[in-house]
């Protein structure tokens, strides 16, 4: 049924995920939802030096929030920080250099961050789509290490800090590509069969949806959400999906349009009136499965995912310096 899922997803995408889909959906948006002052609130955005992460960080900064940019590349991150400060006039922009594919680095960062800062909102935006199988220095497949394990460790490591905050939120940037994948806990690191980077990425994004649903059940004082930004014109799309980009470039959303729902979930009062754990697109909850796609997974598989990630997490926590 994979051909069916892929076809339905692509046709749905042509209709909803493009710039035209955003322009149509935005007619029902209430601008007042995001016209808010968030001075005094602290936001952490991973992958914040470009694309949707930078667009989100910039809009939060415009609204007075304290923004922590978590980036891998120091040079590009410093340029992004300077741009955000210059354009918004907000001086409360802080930079942290962390490789989200390196679990020991995440633990080291999170433990230091908890001792020095407060946090109201975590935005898990960092991600990658590596099209050929690569293994990190820790022996982890690169997409899994970044998109799934990195997101898991960053979130669980900062949950104790978030639980101390008022109106705490966690937003994870996923993808509509997850609709073509059923959770597969038997091969989390894509070791068997043909390696297809696009499908591995989609599987990671399905895993992020499951993580969000599980976290929402476990941590009632934090509002969790996961979202699809639509198909946006970002550096990541250009580099990871060049054929897709060439075919769709005239229809792609802007970075700001892709970031709109992230911003709405991060700052609006309306977002937290909805239940925790939902999947959003264009400021509204949407189903996490296509009709007849057979992508539902049994509860034991979802529990197994959480168990395996916790095992990895604790292993790297004990190995992290400091």
Instruction: Show which residues are catalytic.
Output: 201
Question: 């409360």: which residue's tokens?
Answer: 92
In terms of phi and psi (left: phi > 0; alpha: psi -120 to 50; beta: otherwise), the region of 55 is: alpha
Residue 241 structure tokens: 């999906």
DSSP letters spanning 261-293: HHHHHHH-TTGGGSPTTEEEETTEE--SS-TT-
| CA–CA separation, 312 and 322 (whole Å) | 18
**What are the residue ranges of helices labelled H in the chain?**
2-16, 19-25, 51-62, 74-88, 103-116, 142-143, 151-162, 197-218, 235-240, 242-248, 255-267, 299-319
């Amino acid at each position: 049924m994979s051909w069916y899922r892929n076809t339905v997803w692509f046709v749905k995408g042509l209709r909803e995920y493009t710039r035209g889909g955003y322009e149509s959906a935005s007619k029902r948006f209430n601008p007042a939802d995001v016209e808010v002052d968030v001075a005094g609130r602290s936001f952490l955005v991973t992958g914040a030096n470009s694309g949707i992460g930078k667009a989100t960080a910039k809009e939060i900064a415009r609204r007075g929030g304290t923004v922590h940019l978590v980036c891998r590349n120091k040079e590009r991150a410093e340029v992004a920080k300077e741009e955000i400060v210059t354009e918004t006039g907000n001086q409360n922009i802080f930079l942290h250099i962390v490789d989200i594919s390196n679990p020991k680095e995440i633990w080291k960062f999170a433990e230091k961050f908890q001792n020095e800062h407060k946090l109201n909102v975590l935005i898990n935006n960092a991600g990658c789509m590596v099209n050929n199988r690569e293994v990190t220095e820790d022996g982890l497949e690169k997409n899994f290490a970044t998109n799934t394990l990195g997101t898991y460790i960053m979130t669980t490591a900062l949950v104790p800090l978030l639980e101390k905050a008022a109106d705490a939120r966690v937003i994870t940037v996923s993808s509509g590509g997850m609709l073509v994948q059923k959770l597969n806990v038997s091969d989390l690191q894509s070791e068997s069969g043909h390696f297809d980077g696009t499908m591995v990425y989609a599987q990671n994004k399905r895993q992020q949806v499951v993580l969000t649903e599980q976290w929402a059940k476990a941590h009632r004082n934090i509002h969790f959400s996961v979202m699809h930004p639509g198909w946006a014109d970002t550096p990541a799309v250009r580099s990871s999906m060049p054929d897709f980009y060439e075919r769709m470039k005239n229809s792609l959303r802007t970075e700001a349009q892709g970031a709109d729902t992230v911003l709405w979930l991060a700052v609006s009062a309306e977002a937290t009136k909805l239940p925790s754990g939902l999947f959003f697109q264009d400021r509204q909850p949407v189903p996490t499965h296509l009709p007849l796609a057979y992508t539902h997974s049994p509860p034991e598989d979802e529990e197994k995912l959480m168990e395996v990630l916790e095992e990895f997490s604790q292993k790297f926590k004990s190995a992290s310096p400091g």
